[in-house]
Amino acid sequence: MRTAERNHDVSSGDAATAARLAALLAAFRPGDDALGVSELARRTGLPKTSVHRLSQHLTEHGLLEHDGTALRLGLKLFEIGQLAVRQRGLVDTARPLLADLREATHNTVHLAVLEGVEVVYLDVLRGPDAPRLPSRIGGRFPAHATGVGKAILAFSPDGVVDEVLSGGLPRISRRTITSPALLRRQLAKIRDEGTAYEREESSIGTVCVASPILDAAGHAVAAISVAGSVNRIRTERLAPAVRTTALALSRTLR
Amino acid sequence: MRTAERNHDVSSGDAATAARLAALLAAFRPGDDALGVSELARRTGLPKTSVHRLSQHLTEHGLLEHDGTALRLGLKLFEIGQLAVRQRGLVDTARPLLADLREATHNTVHLAVLEGVEVVYLDVLRGPDAPRLPSRIGGRFPAHATGVGKAILAFSPDGVVDEVLSGGLPRISRRTITSPALLRRQLAKIRDEGTAYEREESSIGTVCVASPILDAAGHAVAAISVAGSVNRIRTERLAPAVRTTALALSRTLR
């Protein structure tokens, strides 16, 4: 943006426009429906005239849609977004197995991958007995505070774990593991057992049991979990079902 | 693009850049993983230098990712794409009911909405007994050739049906309904029965039974279906399960 204001040559203008377009798309949050131009300007820090003009362009290409005078993300982004899951085969292969796991446990089943220091949920199947959890498809969560995150980290190269530790292990709930030494010990145990537990570390009242999806080299490409209310599920009892499903999925993918 | 070449003022440059960025994102197709700059240039009609520069910008903002020298869609697009489903509540509410329907029928369950003359699949749960179908989450299909499309059209305002008919009813398989009069008659029947059948109209060998999700005014907001191999499923026998699930979902959403 700074560059664009100093210099109108095509390539630096491109960079500024790309930054503004990306900011507009990233301005939407879960639960938002349509946002007005003023709100988008406030969230992106862009002038209202820019928001107005750029949103017109995005609307032309289906990336935004008009809703009266407000704007919302275009369904075309959903279509493109589905193609962005490079583990599309993973999601498709996992789906029936996850549905079985949900059916067998009546709780909420997750499939997630690691992106930097966070997990991204590729699939969430809510169970009839599960409490409302913060996880949602496409949502992110700090890896160290989740069962799926710890399951993946336990079967990841050292550099990956180091990156997470260097992020400082932010406290998400009062039970989040914030000590690097403690996290490393727990990862070693998970590596031994093939199963990761999360005990109210992401949100008080919720527990989960997770297991990694491993490639032929034994590295985690993803993890699955079953999560539920601390008062209603026994994670140790669900562990064999989660582990079995993860092993079956790992085998199927190879 | 034409404008940008004639005129370098900021706003028309914006339009050109937005068009190019949208073209780059739309260049990816199902089954693509990473694409090289040359391939992207070929698909978008942009010069390789532009593709190279713009893809750098998109990569900075997480909308594309590097894979060696090639490029793929960024996982951030998956996250944004999930927020683009304005019927997020519909998808979340439908999920357990669709899982039950898959469990009960062992075939593939769909949830779709209408976008212009096409349906977009918001959810696909593949059943263990189902053949490989062309449907995929985020995928599109001509509405008139699908059970979900016909179920939605039967409960849509006349203008919506007229738009589909004016599109010319392209033949997708040799069983696709291509006669406007025949389609109108079938929609009237679907309106009476609350259930739509599709008999190898989208692909030979596959049949399906669908039912609309209706709002309080009785208009379709979506539809669900169960699809399977023509030799293995009896759509008439599955119809009550599909219809019951659609009614339950319609009621829950109101």
Would the CB atoms of A120 and B79 count as touching at under 8 Å? yes
Q: Do B25 and A58 touch (CB under 8 A)?
A: no
Please check the confidence at residue B183 and state whether its pLDDT lies above 90: yes
**Nearest CB neighbour to A18, from listed B29, B54, B82:** B54
Contact with chain B for residue A60, Cβ under 8 A? yes
* Contact (CB<8Å) A60/B139: no
The band of B5, judged by pLDDT with boundaries at 50, 70 and 90, is very low
Note whether ipTM > 0.90 here.
no
What's the gap between Cα A252 and its chain centre?
A: 23
Domains of chain B in start order, with CATH, are 2-80 (1.10.10.10), 85-253 (3.30.450.40)
Could A84 and B61 be called an inter-chain contact, meaning their C-beta atoms sit closer than 8 Å? no
- Closest partner CB to B26 (pick from A72, A80, A95): A80
Query: Quick check: B30 and A99 CB within 8 A?
Result: no
Can you give the pLDDT at residue B253? 86
Mean pLDDT of B177-181: 96
Residues of chain A with pLDDT under 70: 1-12, 86-88
Tokens of B115: 């976008």
pLDDT of the residue at A33: 78
Interface A–B counts its CB contacts (< 8 A) at 192
Q: Is the pLDDT of residue B4 over 50?
A: no
Contact A125 B99 (CB under 8 A): yes
Interface test with A, best of B1, B7, B9, B17 (most A CBs within 10 A): B17
Residue B11 reports pLDDT greater than 70 = no
Report the pLDDT value the prediction gives residue B6, as an integer from 0 to 100.
Answer: 38
Tell whether the model's pLDDT for residue B65 goes beyond 60.
yes
Is A96 within 8 Å of B127 when comparing Cβ atoms?
A: yes
pLDDT at residue B121, as a whole number: 94
Task: Name which residue leads in pLDDT, B127 or A144.
Answer: A144
A75 touches chain B (CB under 8 A): yes
pLDDT of residue A155: 97
Quickly state the pLDDT bin for B162 (edges 50, 70, 90).
Answer: very high
Least confident range of B48-52, B95-99, B163-167: B95-99
- State yes or no: pLDDT of B48 exceeds 50: yes
